[in-house]
Amino acid sequence: MLKNYFNELNKSVSKKTAAVKGAAAKSASKKSPSKGSSAIDSTLLIDKLDQIMPSGLRITRAKPIDATGFSPEGADYIVYREYCRDIAKLMNGYIPFELIHGAFFTIPELKKNTIADALNRVATVKKINRFSEEESEFSVPCFIITGGSDYTIMDVKNDVVNYYISKGVDSGSEFELMMVHNQGIIIKDWHSGNRNYVGLETGEDTLMWFYILITEYLSIEREEDFDLRKYIRSEKVYNEF
């Protein structure tokens, strides 16, 4: 049942780029046996994922914010607990840190420079609440979505690890999962220490396993209580009788 659902979902969000004609086609075919890389409609995919989020969770484009007022740029979408239906309006377009369960980052075309950009954006979002007086141990799980590529999963994984090593990125600023459409998944291996990732060539089952793995992260219970008082930054004094 689950496999059938994701087979259909995969078809609906997949886009096939046209094969290049003439001499360019011959050159492209040497790089990719599929004669045209597999693209993905990430906006449609997010809309579909929003419909099958674990109970009480929603996906939004609203920005994250913590009680200090720090609002990192970079995430394309935020997964949050629906404290109330209009929480983003209530918070002037922001989602409080205590309600956040994850973040999605999209890469339209997978290349070395676009990978680096996504990793930078992840590291920025991971900084949220680190400077709060009541620092939480919770780190926002970060998931990267990208279309297919001439890259192999091994090459993508090696580029990720090499980037983190060369830039000296802290382990706590690394992403949890990357999905390369119709090719595979790169998973942070928390059991093997810093900068260790596992690459799985999951082919047409990639979307199904990506969903299963992200729901495991998104279902983690948050220990922090959401207190609206923390988000009122005003020194106004009221008369008391």
HEC profile for 4-66? HHHHHHHHHHEEECCCCCHHHHHHHHHHCCCCCCEEECHHHHHHHHHHCCCCCEEEECCEEEC
Contact 204, 34 (CB under 8 A): no
CA dihedral 135, 226, 176, 190 (to 10 degrees): 60
Long-range contacts of 194-197 (CB under 8 A, 24+ apart): 195/161, 195/164, 195/165, 195/171, 196/161, 197/157, 197/160, 197/161
Angle in degrees, 0-180, between the axes of helices 2-13 and 206-218, rounded to the nearest 10? 110
Whether the CB-CB separation of 185 and 219 falls below 8 Å is answered with no
Q: Using alpha carbons, select from 215, 217, 206 the residue that is nearest to residue 9.
A: 206
What is the Cα gyration radius of the chain?
20
Is the pTM here over 0.85, yes or no?
yes
* pLDDT confidence bin for 17, thresholds 50/70/90: low
pLDDT score at 236 = 85
Domain positions in the chain: 2-8+48-221
Give the pLDDT score at 133: 67
**CA separation, residue 203 to residues 39, 123, 149, 197 (Å):** 14, 28, 12, 18
Tens-digit pLDDT profile for residues 76-124: 999 999 999 999 999 999 999 999 999 999 998 898 899 999 999 999 9
DSSP 8-state assignment for residue 145: E
Which residues are CB-neighbours of 17 under 8 A, at least 6 positions away? 36, 37, 38, 39
Tokens of 177: 């999962």
Whether the per-residue pLDDT at 193 is higher than 80: the answer is: no
